[in-house]
Amino acid sequence: IGTTGSGKTTILNLISGLYEPVLGEILIDDVNIKNINPEILKKSIGFVTQELIIFSGTVREIMKWVDDKVSDDEIIEALKIAQIYDFISKLPDGLDTFIGQKGVNLSGGQKQRLTIARAIIKKPKILILDDCTSSVDYITEKKILRNLKEKFTSCTKIIVTPRIFTIAEADKIIVIDKGEIVGIGNHKELLEKCLVYKEIYETQVGEIING
């Protein structure tokens, strides 16, 4: 978490190998990513960005775009975890519903949930969510995050967000400010010892109360 322009997305691009660090190194399971085959690294990371990429096709085709061998049961499970299956199942054509280019016939929140489901289908070792629940209501967002924690346990989840309530229950929270890490800990610890985190928290609580 951090303010706009603090460097959150840059860190994600470093983790996924899109940028190379000028100083230091990036390790996954104690292995420098420079020593990992780029194709293996790519297959090991599921990345849902702020810029949602949805090509035209049926829901089934969109989900199979990542892996054409996945079954309908696997697709349905991923859609359920991402809290989009109830919507899809009520459409006349279900998984055969045609989605237009860039998801033009979906709402912002529906597009976000579909792209999360598509990333889950990949079964990545690392799942990166870059502020990709901004158009989802608070209750649905909490259900998605709970599902990811309870039902999608085979990977490390990295969530980037400007909203404290999105990551308040995370095992570890890293606070970024002006390109530097200024705090690491859980929600309670950071409220007590990280001024930047406390300021973000108090600002957002105030917006909720006043809004």
Per residue in 33-67, pLDDT (tens digit) is 989 998 898 889 988 887 778 888 999 999 998 88
> How many other CB atoms are found less than 10 A from the CB of residue 77?
18
Contact 90, 98 (CB under 8 A): no
pLDDT recorded at residue 207: 60
pLDDT recorded at residue 54: 87
Q: What is the pTM of this model?
A: 0.87
| pLDDT less than 70: residues of the chain | 206-211
Contact 2, 175 (CB under 8 A): yes
Tell me the CA end-to-end span of the chain in Å, nearest whole number: 22
User: Token pair for residue 108?
Assistant: 């912002």
pLDDT recorded at residue 206: 66
Find the largest Cα–Cα distance for the chain: 54
pLDDT recorded at residue 4: 81
Please list the helix, strand and coil fractions of the chain in percent, rounded to the nearest 5, in that order: 45, 15, 35
pLDDT recorded at residue 208: 53
Which secondary structure element, helix H or strand E, spans residue 130, and what is its range? strand 126-130
Least Cα distance to 79 among 130, 132, 123, 115 occurs for 115
